[in-house]
Amino acid sequence: MSTGRSATPMGPAELVQAAAMARRFYLEGKSKIQIAEEFGVSRFKVARVLETALERDLVRIEIRVPAELDAERSDALRARYGLRHAVVVESPADAADDAPDPENLGEVAADLLGELVHEGDVLGLAWGRSTIHMAAALHRLPPCTVVQLTGVYDAGTAERGSVEAVRRAAQVSGGEAHPIYAPMLLPDSATAAALRGQTGIARAFDYFDKVTVAAVSIGSWAPGISTVYDMLTDEEREQYASLGAAAEMSAHLFDADGRRIGRDLGERCITVEADRLRRIPEVVAIAGGSRKAAAIGAVLRSGLVTSLVTDTAAADYLLLETGPGPRPALDRADPDGA
């Protein structure tokens, strides 16, 4: 079938020549000038023949990515939110609305970090189930320093939580590890300040301004979907809910428009400060599922995140989302602004 300028059937000589030129160009990597010299024609003639080969279906060009990756949604999401990188993976067919982040998000994020991290970089890892899965899936990293960006959810889970994630990443890269042996949330700001002054924790904090790539998780303001939510009292949850809390990332709270709220909570937390996080050149968020979709949108509007690994369930929500226009992550908008 011809979709081009002529429906005249090609003769056998034309077909053979078109097939030969197409083979030289598409499979052997020869230039149009080289092909023109071989066949004794002009390069413009070669260009016309190659165009005709496409029109007549002699050549079929397919763009193929692994089945689990959705290239179309990925590109649409990147463009809508001004992200450097957006990688969307297929949601599990049997995933329930209340299911946790798909584990394959961590596997894909591990491969993405393998692309983004370069020798001599400082990699920061925040607490989160997705970042823990990502660290477990790491199989290649160039030599780099790895630093923990937040305290742990529970000191008793350190060995299988973010401390272990930092150790794992450092082991894969062959670089130094700087874990934080402290809870993420403390009873009051004075206790948190005292812990920040401890030698090991202070050493990790000294690296925060040197972090070049960070991996973070996102939580919705609901039980079982936000570490901070689960650690607070009912009264505290109601307080932050009254302020419009819709999302949490690294113990920072955001309303639906991406504005940071509840800054007093940060004074009680062992975590990287929002202004430091904003200065990190590459911040990769890993989160998916329909239950987190609105929270992901809120964090993207904050401007703190530059890249995202998510799934089709969240991506479909984000691409149809209405309301305030997103702040392009490439502009690194200040979430504490107006």
Question: Nearest 10 degrees: CA dihedral of 133, 136, 137, 143?
Answer: 120
Q: Indicate the pLDDT class of residue 66, thresholds 50, 70 and 90.
A: low
**CB 322 within 8 Å of CB 297:** no
Q: What is the pLDDT of residue 327?
A: 64
**What is the token pair recorded at 251?**
């113990």
d(CA 186, CA 188): 6
282-313 per-position pLDDT tens digit: 999 999 998 999 999 999 999 999 999 999 99
Q: Which pLDDT score is estimated for 64?
A: 61
Residue 2 has pLDDT above 50, yes or no: no
- Ranges of each domain in the chain: 12-56, 69-331
Helix, strand, coil percentages for the chain (3-state, nearest 5): 45, 15, 40
- Is 69-331 the same fold as 12-56? no
CA distance 45 to 51: 10
Which residues make beta-bridge pairs with 124? 147, 214
Are the C-beta atoms of residues 230 and 141 closer than 8 Å to each other? no
In the chain, the N- to C-terminal Cα span, in Å, equals 58
Cut 0.85: pTM above it: no
Q: How many helices (H) and strands (E) does the chain have?
A: 15, 11
Condensed to tens digits (0 to 9), the pLDDT of residues 150-176 reads 998 754 444 457 789 999 999 999 999
CATH of domain 12-56: 1.10.10
* pLDDT attached to residue 254: 95
Q: What is the pLDDT of residues 236-246, one digit of tens each?
A: 999 999 999 99
Which CATH fold topology does 69-331 show?
Rossmann fold (3.40.50)
Structure letter (DSSP) for residue 276 = H
What is the phi/psi pair of residue 284, to 5°? -100, 120
Band of pLDDT at residue 12, cut at 50, 70 and 90: confident
3-state secondary structure of 89: strand
In 119-135, which positions are buried (b, 16+ CB within 10 angstroms) versus exposed (e)?
eebbbbbbbbbbbbbbb
- Residue 67's pLDDT is 53
DSSP codes of every residue in 166-232: HHHHHHHHT--EE---SBSB-SSHHHHHHHHTSHHHHHHHHTGGG--EEEEE-EESSTTT-HHHHHS
